């Protein structure tokens, strides 16, 4: 039965009606055998839910649909992986109080909730999203606010999660008001996927809360042009009218947005919707996400081919997040490939070895053709690279130090 218009426009209705069973999913698509198996086998391992709004964007007859692939589990999530890292950015080690990550001197990331409206299959925080142990009680939120108040070097607070906009307006107003009351906090940023997966959340009341507690910046997370619906654009416009600038970060996802055409259409669509593309993230090494990872050479090649061919400010910065901060994936910081690792230097000077599929795997997966592969940065299968005249050692997702041999 079709929902009534008031229900469809009510974000809380969508939260209550989320798809969490195979049976409910069949109202939107005909699941493949692989999807059915994925749903069955990932139960109790990874969270799964889809809002009716986002589910309505799925192509019922196409298993390769970029919307569908982001939210419907596949059995490959449980395939053996090179690593099963749960916390690749060592966020727990950088957390002085629960769910507050203080990695950069003047900035903190504050995970205010573990809840999301949908659970993206590639999520960086698969270790925590939806988990009760990562939920924040009011007293725990207060502890984090007290930490920020006691550290006058912190001038920029990123609210993240889970998804901060799953919190109700009153709760959010209290949280934002508490941060606004701290003199040395200059700006608050919100990282949210609500404009993508549930734009009904961008209500006039929410906009008033954000406007009242500004200056506020919001970064959202469109991965494919298909997500830029009229409803989503409407939500973005309401945010802009409330004085909230909107940026976007995209994750480079194999087979979803890893082609030149898909990426160009997304970036051009974003600026047309008045959203500033900000980062293009290399997919993180997280257990259960190997099938989304793209060879870094493919990402660099895409960026090189986009440069000069789209509006300058439509170009995001292609980065990898590491415990040493974000590393721009360009020839200044990326030094080369040693077998299964890409070696790079952080902006703080440390060396980092990122486990990453070889470019030839992208040919096998149909992401690029042989001719394109020939034009990419490094020959496949180099075993050692030189940094300052010495070899560099690589470990799985690790810092490396000059002087040791590189294992391929
Ligand atoms: S909305 Fe963000 S935090 Fe939530 S599952 Fe998706 S990527 Fe992860």
- 19 Cα: distance to centroid of ligand 1 (angstroms): 16
260: closest CA among 319, 327, 310, 221?
310
Task: Tell me the average pLDDT across 24-33.
Answer: 97
What is the band of 88 on the pLDDT scale with cuts at 50, 70, 90?
Answer: low
Is 318 near ligand 1, meaning CB less than 6 Å away? no
Is 164 near ligand 1, meaning CB less than 6 Å away? no
- 279 Cα: distance to centroid of ligand 1 (angstroms): 16
Is 291 near ligand 1, meaning CB less than 6 Å away? no
Helix, strand or coil, per DSSP, at residue 218: strand
Q: Which ligand 1 atom is nearest residue 116's CA?
A: 4
Using a 10 angstrom Cβ sphere, with 0-12 exposed, 13-18 middle and 19 or more buried, the burial of residue 181 is exposed
From 93-97, 143-147, 153-157, the region with the lowest mean pLDDT: 93-97
pLDDT digits (tens, 9 = 90+) for 295-328: 999 999 999 999 999 999 999 999 999 988 899 9
CA angle 376, 377, 381 (to 5 degrees): 95
Q: Is the pLDDT of residue 253 over 60?
A: yes
- 374 Cα: distance to centroid of ligand 1 (angstroms): 35
pLDDT digits (tens, 9 = 90+) for 208-248: 999 999 999 999 999 999 999 999 999 999 999 999 999 99
Q: Is the pLDDT of residue 398 over 70?
A: no
Ligand 1, atom 8: closest residue by C-alpha: 123
Helix, strand or coil, per DSSP, at residue 313: helix
Per CATH, the number for 100-293 is: 3.20.20.70
**Among 71, 72, 161, 222, residue to substitute to test ligand 1 (most atoms within 8 Å of Cβ):** 161
Report pLDDT for 384. 58
Q: Is the pLDDT of residue 127 over 90?
A: no
Q: What is the CA radius of gyration of the chain?
A: 21
Ligand 1, atom 5: closest residue by C-alpha: 119
Helix, strand or coil, per DSSP, at residue 237: helix
Over the chain, what is the mean pLDDT? Answer: 90
Report pLDDT for 375. 77
Is 46 near ligand 1, meaning CB less than 6 Å away? no
Give the pairing type, strands 351-355 and 398-400: antiparallel
Global pTM reads 0.91
What's phi and psi for 123, nearest 5 deg? -55, 135
List Cβ neighbours of 245 (8 Å cut-off, separation of 6 or more).
217, 218, 276
Domain boundaries, the chain: 100-293
What's phi and psi for 252, nearest 5 deg? -75, 115
Is 162 near ligand 1, meaning CB less than 6 Å away? yes
Read off the tokens for 297: 């050479």
Read off the tokens for 96: 């002085």
Read off the tokens for 210: 């954000």
Read off the tokens for 258: 């890893």
Read off the tokens for 353: 């070895």
Residue 321 DSSP code? E
pLDDT digits (tens, 9 = 90+) for 319-373: 999 988 899 999 999 998 888 889 999 998 999 999 999 888 888 888 888 888 8
pLDDT digits (tens, 9 = 90+) for 360-379: 888 888 888 888 888 776 65
CA–CA dist 235, 237 (Å, integer): 5
Is 111 near ligand 1, meaning CB less than 6 Å away? no
**Among 51, 118, 120, residue to substitute to test ligand 1 (most atoms within 8 Å of Cβ):** 120
């Amino acid at each position: 039965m079709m929902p009534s218009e008031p229900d469809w426009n009510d974000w809380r209705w969508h939260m209550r009606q989320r798809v969490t069973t195979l049976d409910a999913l069949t109202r939107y698509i005909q699941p493949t055998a692989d999807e059915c198996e994925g749903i069955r086998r990932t139960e109790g391992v990874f969270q799964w839910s889809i809002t009716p709004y986002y589910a309505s964007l799925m192509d019922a007859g196409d298993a390769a649909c970029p919307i569908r692939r982001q939210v419907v589990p596949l059995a490959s999530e449980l395939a053996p992986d090179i690593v099963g890292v749960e916390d690749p950015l060592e966020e727990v080690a950088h957390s002085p109080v629960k769910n507050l990550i203080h990695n950069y001197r003047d900035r903190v990331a504050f995970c205010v909730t573990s809840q999301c409206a949908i659970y993206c299959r590639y999520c960086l925080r698969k270790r925590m999203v939806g988990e009760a142990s990562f939920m924040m009680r009011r007293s725990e939120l207060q502890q984090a606010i007290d930490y920020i108040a006691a550290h006058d070097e912190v001038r920029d607070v990123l609210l993240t999660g889970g998804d901060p906009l799953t919190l109700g307006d009153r709760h959010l107003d209290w949280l934002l008001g508490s941060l606004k009351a701290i003199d040395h906090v200059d700006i608050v940023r919100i990282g949210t996927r609500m404009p993508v997966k549930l734009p009904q959340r961008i209500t006039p009341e929410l906009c008033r809360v954000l406007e009242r507690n500004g200056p506020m910046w919001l970064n959202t997370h469109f991965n494919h042009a298909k997500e830029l619906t009229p409803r989503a654009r409407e939500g973005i416009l309401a945010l802009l009218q409330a004085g909230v600038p909107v940026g976007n970060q995209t994750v480079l996802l194999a087979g979803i947005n890893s082609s030149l055409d898909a990426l160009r259409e997304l970036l051009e669509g974003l600026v047309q919707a008045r959203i500033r593309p900000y980062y293009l993230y290399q997919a993180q090494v997280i257990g259960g996400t190997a099938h989304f990872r793209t060879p870094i050479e493919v990402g660099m090649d895409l960026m090189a081919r986009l440069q000069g061919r789209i509006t300058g400010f439509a170009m995001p910065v292609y980065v990898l997040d590491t415990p040493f901060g974000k590393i721009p994936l360009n020839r200044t910081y990326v030094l080369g490939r040693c077998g299964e690792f890409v070696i790079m230097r952080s902006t703080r000077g440390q060396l980092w070895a990122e486990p990453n599929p070889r470019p030839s795997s992208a040919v096998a997966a149909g992401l690029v053709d042989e001719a394109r592969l020939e034009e990419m940065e490094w020959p496949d299968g180099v075993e050692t690279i030189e940094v300052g005249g010495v070899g560099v050692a690589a470990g799985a997702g690790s810092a490396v130090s000059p002087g040791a041999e590189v294992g391929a």
